[in-house]
Amino acid sequence: MKKYNRILAIGSIVTSLSIAFVSCDKSISEPQRVGYAPASVDEKAGTWKTYVLTAPTDVTVATPSATSSTDYQAELTDLKSKSASLTQAQQEAVVYWGAGAVYRWNEIARELCARYNIPPASNADGKYPVPDAANPLADPKFPFANPPYSSRALAYLSVAQYDALVAAWSYKYKFNRVAPSKVDATVRVALPTSALPAYPSEDAVVAAASAVVLKAMFPGEVPFIDAKLAEHQNSRLWAGMNVASDLSAGIDLGNQAAAKVMARAKTDGMSAANNQAVTAGMIQAAKDRGLAEVWVSQETPARPPMLPNFGAVSTWNLDRTTLVQIRPTPPPALNDANYEKDMNELKEINKSQTREQARIANYWSDGAGSYTPPGHWHRTAANAANDAKYSEVRMARTLALVGTALMDAAVGCWEAKYYYYYPRPQQFGMKTSVGLPNFPSYPSGHSTFSAAAATVLTSIFPDKAKDFQDEASEASTSRVYGLIHYRFDSNGGLDHGNKIGSYAVARAKADGSGL
């Protein structure tokens, strides 16, 4: 009997252990975004100031056939058959894209940034091969979507979406062709509808413009992007939201607008951003100004610094003269009292980093394999605009303002980094809990990006000002906690970023939106 009791006892221990450990399933829950009718359709957005287009008439849209025409009625019949009953996969596509065209393409772009954000490996000769745009999937893959690269890719994406949508809004209200469900109430719609005219389709405009930019920025991803483009268009048919000519006109407009935006990209100086020949002069200039020890790569073999000439790339919201004028003031001389104070802070963290410091450093690390700090702030901006139920065009405006500010921050920060050529704390024995970026220390890029984005977001969403400012401050400090920046790097970057962001805010105040 005793034996049985024991077996019973053991059995129940095993069972309860199993339940305790195994009962929780492994599915992962991510925040879900669903479609909404916009708080405002922003019917005057066709007059808002664009970045690259001089006017909506820079792009052309064919006059649509009337809803009473046989052509349109045939499209309507086709739409009804496509939207009548959906497969599970079609329903999922409708819900996914229904969250927002700009929202989803921004998210896709961030994912591409993450996928391509890995520095090339050194080869047997101890050299780092440069990614080749003509052979994007070879090792190393093109591009290396580091923070400056990602800031630029996301800025052009957002500008193309915005300019294309402003033009689309202009044509929408010129032609005023209503949505198919307003023509025929028997069209089954799967998403919230609004009073916005349907021709050309804003979804198709965004999809086409985004695809053009992303294919240029990530040339190895053409099949992936084409598949997204096709699914996005189809989802509008499945959802009963657009007839085929709404979509084809939108695609056409999006392609035209994005081509103009990409023409600017081709001449913005990016092709010379990795010109390593400029560093010798930069180093000499920094030494001439009295810097006792310049930045050197801490990697083995020494890696050429990241995009040393990115500071010469064209900016969006401020001019070159201003950029140089607002460059952060010089960092402390190595070994002066201010330097010692901030170095001592790092030494203390190096010795006994707290778990909370590690957490903050990790949360904001956005290093290799991530969508970078510009991607992080695009995400914050997109979520805030989605929460506020912004229309597509207003969402695009928000992301274009934040995105151009982030790219301006990248240009300004890189210009300052290579101007000062200041050594990293790792040159003086510090370790890191987040990984060390391969470029000079002062000022902190995270700080510049974060302050610039937070300044713009604060202006757009004043109710959330404190959140954005706190986040920027924490992102900045995270680099001290991660031991890769001195406190003065972070403070210099925050100040610089605030200034850079203010030029985007000034643009926003004057873009005719009245927002």
Q: Which residues bind other proteins (CB under 8 A)?
A: 6, 10, 13-14, 17-18, 20-22, 24, 26, 28-31, 107, 110-111, 114-115, 118-122, 139-141, 298-301, 350, 353, 355, 358-359, 362-363, 365, 368-371, 376, 379, 426, 430-436, 483
Minimum Å distance from CB 449 to other proteins?
A: 16
CB of 26 to other proteins, least distance (A): 6
Greatest CA separation for the chain: 93
- How far is 172 from 113, CA to CA, in rounded Å? 33
Tokens 């009548």, located at residue: 84
Cβ at position 98, least distance to other proteins in Å: 17
CA 104 from chain center: how many Å? 11
Instruction: Name which of 419 and 486 has its Cβ closer to other proteins.
Output: 486
Distance from C-alpha of 472 to C-alpha of 446, rounded to nearest angstrom: 9
Q: Provide DSSP, 146-177.
A: -HHHHHHHHHHHHHHHHHHHHHHHHHHHHH-P
Q: Which is nearer to other proteins, 266 or 351 (CB)?
A: 351
Give the nearest distance from C-beta 349 to other proteins in angstroms: 10
Q: Which is nearer to other proteins, 192 or 429 (CB)?
A: 429
Please check whether residue 142 is in contact with residue 179, taking contact to mean a CB–CB distance below 8 angstroms: no
Q: Which is nearer to other proteins, 117 or 256 (CB)?
A: 117
Whose Cβ is closer to other proteins: residue 161's or residue 478's? 478
Q: Between 114 and 167, whose beta carbon lies closer to other proteins? A: 114
Give how far Cα 85 sits from Cα of 91, 97, 140, 190, Å. Answer: 9, 18, 45, 10
Q: How far is the CB of 28 from other proteins (least distance, A)?
A: 5
Q: How far apart are CA 204 and CA 255, in angstroms?
A: 10
Minimum CB separation of residue 323 from other proteins in Å reads 31
CA gap 221, 227 in Å, rounded: 10
Using the Cα atoms of residue 319, residue 322, residue 327 and residue 328 in order, give the sign of their dihedral: negative
397/390 Cα distance (integer angstroms)? 10
Least distance from other proteins to the Cβ atom of residue 398, Å: 19
- Whichever of 141 and 327 has its CB closer to other proteins, that residue is 141
